[in-house]
Amino acid sequence: MPKAVILLSGGLDSTTCLAYAKQQGFECYAISFLYNQRHRAELEAAKVVAQHYQVKKHLVFPLDSAALAGSALTEKDIEVADYSGETVIPATYVPARNTVFLSVGLAWAEALGAYDLFIGASCVDYSGYPDCRPEFFEAFQKMASLATKEGVEGRPITLQTPLLYLSKAQTVLLGLSLGVDYSMTTSCYRLNEKGEACGRCDSCVFRKKGFAEAGVADPTKYY
Amino acid sequence: MPKAVILLSGGLDSTTCLAYAKQQGFECYAISFLYNQRHRAELEAAKVVAQHYQVKKHLVFPLDSAALAGSALTEKDIEVADYSGETVIPATYVPARNTVFLSVGLAWAEALGAYDLFIGASCVDYSGYPDCRPEFFEAFQKMASLATKEGVEGRPITLQTPLLYLSKAQTVLLGLSLGVDYSMTTSCYRLNEKGEACGRCDSCVFRKKGFAEAGVADPTKYY
């Protein structure tokens, strides 16, 4: 079986992405990042999901927070706002986060001998983060092809973004067709101590909308 | 003073690069990586260099080694070979290392509000690593411009590679013109316990050649 590295946050998208990669016949290596994020419960969810899908290895990669600072997701004194629908980049944007995550994923893929690197990003129901746009992923692919030994040898590591053009509802339906149990996943930026979701941050709003538009029950517990 | 982030290994190139950035009028933020590299003495050198140049901050960033594995620089059971002059990518290549280092540097630059990111790479006297070639840096710049808030806002973070087309001798001469004391720096992949250099690995051979061709005394202690 060919190997693949999958970025796994424990949220709805990355879990669907892992289920998809598994269904495509890949031996899956999941990687999650510990970057002082507010929503640590994500990591617990990622562990449950990784175990459920019996990934070959689940790497929890610590990233010193000083270099990923200045975001509402990493700084306690910056507030996570309710979803506003505005088109500006929100305070929850973490500097160059996907670039760092994908770079480490690329390094691990190269070290493992994996030729596929999956990320469950979408540019449809999303917060307008620059590093979730198709043009970013295209540029990352070009860079990655030049950066690695595999690229030089003519078989670059392929960045796989199967959810990129899917709405949240389409992602939910894809996941359900793959048998994903979304009660394992968590998306909220402001989870309470019981792991219940706020229902009002960007991430919650997109998630709720996804289940509603897909016409399926939302297993999320809201406070 | 505009801020700049400088990747600093404590070697000849990155030290010259820091001296150059400082001379260009930047307030310098240095970042070094702890990635289970053989040559930890580099980090000690980096600390000395950072202090000497009174950088605003020196961040030592730990990177879990599992994702940067499979190289002679990170695995004790893979041997660092003597310089061979061959054109193949040597065993000292670390998977996607510059991609990861630059990505973290990019994130830190964005968090700091720095618009310049320096790396002292050269494609002249080098080991043929794919991620030291001009086309890689060009692709990284394009990706970085799309990845960040600054890029979206029309003022992308600029990747600065002042040594890219300099031979090692030219780098040494540039550094000496800037007053660099190269006895602070260390380049060897196989330093002994006293911090003395082997004189035979790729890194030593290029360094020695640089001093020889520049016609200046080599302050390196060899065993």
pLDDT bracket for residue A153 (50, 70, 90): confident
Q: A180: which DSSP letter?
A: -
pLDDT digits (tens, 9 = 90+) for B95-114: 888 999 999 999 999 989 99
Q: Which residues of B touch A105 (CB under 8 A)?
A: 67
- Which candidate in B59, B78, B100, B117 is best for mutational testing of the A interface (most A CBs within 10 A)? B100
- Give the tens place of pLDDT for each residue, A168-187: 999 999 999 999 999 999 98
* Interchain proximity B100–A104, CB inside 8 Å: yes
B167-209 pLDDT tens trace: 999 999 999 999 999 999 998 888 888 889 999 988 899 999 9
Cα separation of A22 and A55, whole Å? 9
Q: What is the pLDDT of residues B137-162, one digit of tens each?
A: 999 999 999 998 888 888 999 999 99
CATH no. of B3-214: 3.40.50.620
Contact residues for B193 (Cβ-Cβ < 8 A; gap 6+): none
Please judge whether A136 and B143 are an interchain contact, meaning their C-beta atoms are less than 8 angstroms apart. Answer: yes
How many Å lie between the alpha carbon of B197 and the closest alpha carbon of chain A? 28
Q: A144, B99: Cβ pair inside 8 Å?
A: yes
Q: What is the pLDDT of residue B124?
A: 87
Kindly indicate whether the ipTM for this predicted assembly is greater than 0.95, answering yes or no: no
Residue B12, pLDDT above cutoff 80: yes
- Count helices and strands (H / E) in chain B: 7, 5
* A187–chain B nearest CA distance, Å: 22
The whole-angstrom distance between A95's CA and the closest CA on chain B is 5
Q: Say what the pLDDT of residue B95 is.
A: 81
Q: Which residues, in sequence order, are bridge partners of residue A116?
A: A4, A158
CA distances (Å), B133 to each of A4, A139, B128, in order? 27, 17, 8
| Cβ neighbours of B140 in A, within 8 Å | 143, 147
Nearest Cα to Cα of residue A105 among A17, A39, A38: A17
What's the confidence (pLDDT) of residue B63?
82
The string of pLDDT tens digits covering residues B17-52 is 999 999 999 999 999 998 877 667 888 999 999 999
Q: In chain B, where does DSSP find H-type helix?
A: 12-23, 41-52, 97-112, 134-147, 149-152, 168-177, 202-214
**What is residue A71's predicted lDDT score, i.e. its pLDDT?**
66
Whether A69 contacts B111, CB under 8 Å: yes
- B contacts of A91 (beta carbons < 8 Å): none
pLDDT score of B40: 72
Task: Give the predicted TM-score (pTM) of the model.
Answer: 0.91
Q: Which residues of A touch B56 (CB under 8 A)?
A: none
Q: Which residue does chain A place closest to B132, by CA atoms?
A: A147
Residue showing tokens 């796989």: A160
* CB-CB under 8 Å, B95 with A67: no
Predicted pLDDT at B91: 72
Task: Pick the residue of A94, A146, A150 with the most B CBs within 10 A to test the interface with B by mutation.
Answer: A146
Position A158 scores a pLDDT of: 97
Average pLDDT value for chain B: 89
Minimal Cβ distance to B135: which of A67, A136, A146: A146
Sign of CA dihedral A38, A134, A112, A56: positive
Report the Cα–Cα distance between both ends of chain B, in Å, rounded.
Answer: 43
